[in-house]
Amino acid sequence: MKLLKNSYPFDPSFKHHALIALGLAIWIFGFLHLTEPLDVNEFGDKEKLIYLPGYGLIGGIMYLVFLPFQYFLYSRSQQQWTLLQELLFILFLVIITIFIVRAFYLYVVMVGEQNLYSFSYQLTSITLPAIATILPIVLIGRFGLGKYKEKRLAQSKIEIKGEGTYDGLRLLLNDLVCVQSSDNYIEVLYYSGGELKKSLIRNKLSVVAEEFPDLLRIHRSYIINPYHFQQWKTEKGKLFVELSSSIFAPVSNTYKNDAKSVLNSTTNN
């Protein structure tokens, strides 16, 4: 059961999944045209051009129809994808598709005909063998896109290093909210899996500010990510910035003009 909870490569891009659906439709058509399973070899050339694309469309459309279910699972798990979720998505997709294929066979392909295949015979002799051949292509495509996305994410991550042998932190720049100086350490606030987290790293704020010029110095003890700026706040004559998750950071007079220039232009954009 622990294995099922392991992280599994996943690409949430709808465009990429639409390409998988298109590839699936073409692959089903090509597979049926070349192998001609039991009911297909009884078609004439004209019937093949009518019905075989229909089977392909069913596969592609059903994949697209199930994408909302996939994104529901993805959002429920705070944008984490596991092997269990992958298996659930594929299982429900296959089960519902089997019944849709049966309906297409009864009410489109063989309407008005006699001597129809029974559901059990069609399932065991035609549908399941076809699925066993076609499904691996879908699984390989989904896995490959997921791994490619993971690789691109890894390449786009920044690393806030710890001094000496101390551990650092790797994360996406837009997940970083702010960094605060704390004696010989820095306190990093960031998002991971949709949750706000905090890490203490042995390093200097000046080093981080110099290494990542996209971050904004607003105080001798604070640098922030302008991406998370929400609004200005004034309390007892002191100026603060409000960041995501209602995080407040003070703005000193030394950095006030630069901070306003950068953050106001960010808000206007």
pLDDT digits (tens, 9 = 90+) for 93-123: 999 999 999 999 999 888 877 888 899 999 9
Which secondary-structure segment (H or E) carries 232? strand 229-235
Any idea which of 49-63, 150-164, 240-254 has the lowest mean pLDDT? 150-164
Do residues 209 and 96 share a domain?
no
Strand order across the 185-192 sheet: 195-201, 185-192, 176-182, 222-224, 216-219
Would the pLDDT of 268 be above 60? no
Determine the Cα–Cα distance for residues 76 and 245; give it in Å rounded to an integer: 20
Q: How many domains does the chain have?
A: 2
Between 2 and 176, where is the model more confident? Answer: 176
Summary mean pLDDT of the chain:
90
Domain boundary among 156, 172, 199: 156
pTM given for the model: 0.70
What is the Cα Rg of the chain in Å?
Answer: 28
Determine the Cα–Cα distance for residues 36 and 254; give it in Å rounded to an integer: 77
Determine the Cα–Cα distance for residues 29 and 264; give it in Å rounded to an integer: 55
Q: How many CB atoms lie within 10 A of CB 222?
A: 23
Do residues 136 and 13 share a domain?
yes
Q: In this predicted structure, what is the pLDDT of residue 67?
A: 95
Do residues 193 and 102 share a domain?
no
Work out the widest C-alpha separation in the chain, in whole angstroms: 87
